[in-house]
A and B are shown apart, each in its own frame.
Chain A
Amino acid sequence: MTELAATDPLPKPKRDIAPILLPVAVAVVMIPLIGSPSTWLTLTAASLAMGMMIFIMASGLTLVFGLMDVLNFGHGAFIAVGAYVATLVLAPFAASLQVDSLWMNLAVLAPAALLSMAVSGALGLIVERVLILPVYGQHLKQILMTTGGLIVAEQTLYAVWGPQIIPTPLPTSLRGSFILGDVAIAKYRVLAMLIGLAVFIAIQLVLNRTKLGLLIRAGVENREMVEALGYRIRRLFLGVFMTGSALAGLGGVMWALYREQVHASMSDDLTVLIFIVVIIGGLGSIGGCFIGAILVAMVANYGGFLVPKLALVSNILLMVAVLMWRPRGLYAVTSR
């Protein structure tokens, strides 16, 4: 290896934009396949909205995976709990949600989302202390403990709220669509995109502009060395775990409004998608998670439209294709 002298210019690290271009390429390739531009735009908007919601739910999990190598199969419990807790606010204020005023509607939705995040975050604290702390470094036991925790959480939700599906109708001001020519984009999807983007930007700012973010990024790469520098990574992990749980709760509220219903096993299908997103994004990579979520949503929407029979396996095929291209995910952060 040739050593660089201090005066030599350092080779500029290559900016890896191929994963960023991938969703763009997928969208462009779909234009002729779908045929109708308005259908393509509607499906693309639906993909972005769905992708943002999946990203919100998956972002915490990817940091948990990357930072502490913990396989949390119970992540879906935070989604369901978040959605159920939101109904505690949404149901009593149903009348305010039926008023055709965006501000009145948001005045109910915002506290519902904040309460869901607080409860999911607190549940994350309990899960980390009780279920995960005793099994650090033991993957098989982590799977057993967190899967068991998910089952207990689902059954508890059934016991408390009953087995029936709880309707969560969209607030009046978020019903309907923005009409652009012959293209209709649902208002709620626009809101979901904005919230998802805001969460992504906030996470990026924290990770890149604060010392806490530096610690998280360093911990994802080499947690042992972070400890050798004098930082208690377990506390850091607990904070990340709680934040990830709170974000899953927020995602649960958004998903419940998107589907306009809540039930205890609502996260079962989502969990599969979230794990696919985390794996194809690269464990611990927020950027990869963001792109992965959009890709998964694109495949679900475009695939569902073009080849409905392939809908069930389309995301598995996506994962296989991405891992054949990049075996450690779109943006590999850890060597695990």
Chain B
Amino acid sequence: MTELLKLSGVHTHIGRYHILQGIDLAVPQGQTTMLLGRNGAGKTTTLRTIMGLWQASSGEISLAGERIESRATPDIARLGVGYVPESMAVFSDLTVKENLVLAARDGPLDDAQLDWIFGFFPALRRFWLSRAGSLSGGQKQMLSIARAIVEPRKLLLIDEPTKGLAPAIVMALIECLKEIKRKGATILMVEQNFFAARELGDNVLVMDNGTIVHRGEMAALASDVPLQERLLGLSLEAHQ
């Protein structure tokens, strides 16, 4: 399996704090890799470092064989990386349409792509001309994800998409992300919800204290309760 994204010995400092302490990971093309770990393990920092929002202090990051660790965030985005931050970061003063128009960098919105998005996010069609700030939390998350997939991307970085959402919305979101997977997207996703991680992940990386402490197939971790408890402090059963 081709590795689309590769991190080798990546360190990131934020101020005087040494957050990432030598991250080595690979994200295979066309698969969904889950990044799990306790709070403060460095998961969000990993995504932000890949995206160039925080500069790696040392180490190498390559996307499709091209080094990107010294590149600015807009250049990394233009290489085909879509980013869905933990905070969703929709532009609340702009309408749903305007949010997506901005995300479509390379030209006007593609009707076929929009129809595909509206297929699993019908609320976005309905609230097309409404201000994003007036959407509910779940709808904002849908808009945030729609923004990342409104044009074809090589890689999607998604940070805790289910955080703070009602269970019914979480299920709908999981179905949507499965559909995105079926289209062949490569995804690196941070997730605290182990149920969602099991449903979506092909591979799993577990972080602790700024390093990767486990890597393997998601199915293997999902079936190994003692390992879940050792790595995450909680088992899947406890989550359910």
Query: Which of A's residues lie within 8 Å of B, judged by CB?
Result: 1-7, 10-13, 211, 214-215, 217-218, 221-222, 224-233, 333
Contact = CB atoms under 8 A, between A and B. Distances in A.
B70 interface: no
Given A225-B91, A228-B51, A231-B74, A10 B137 contact: no
A229 B127 contact: no
Contact of B94 (A2, A218, A228, A232): A218
B182 to A, nearest CB: 22
Interface stretch (B5-13, B22-30, B97-105, B208-216): B97-105
A10 B147 CA distance: 20
B102 A218 contact: yes
B167 to A, nearest CB: 10
B53 interface: yes
A13 B168 contact: no
B93 A217 contact: yes
Interface of B: 51, 53, 72-74, 77-78, 83, 85, 89, 91-94, 98, 101-103, 105, 122-123, 126-127, 130-131, 133-139, 147, 166, 168-169
Nearest to A7: B126
A10 B130 contact: yes
Contacts of A12: 134
Contacts of B89: 222, 224-225, 228
A334 B135 CA distance: 18
Contact of B133 (A2, A13, A211, A229): A13
Contacts, number: 86
Contact of A10 (B51, B105, B134): B134
A204 B172 CA distance: 38
Given A13-B134, A222-B91, A214 B101 contact: yes
A211 B105 CA distance: 10
B74 A227 contact: yes
A228 B89 CA distance: 10
A61 to B, nearest CB: 19
A217 B91 contact: yes
Given A225-B91, A229-B102, A1 B123 contact: no
Contact of A4 (B51, B73, B105, B123): B123
Given A6-B126, A13-B131, A333-B93, A1 B74 contact: no
A221 B94 CA distance: 10
B77 A10 contact: no
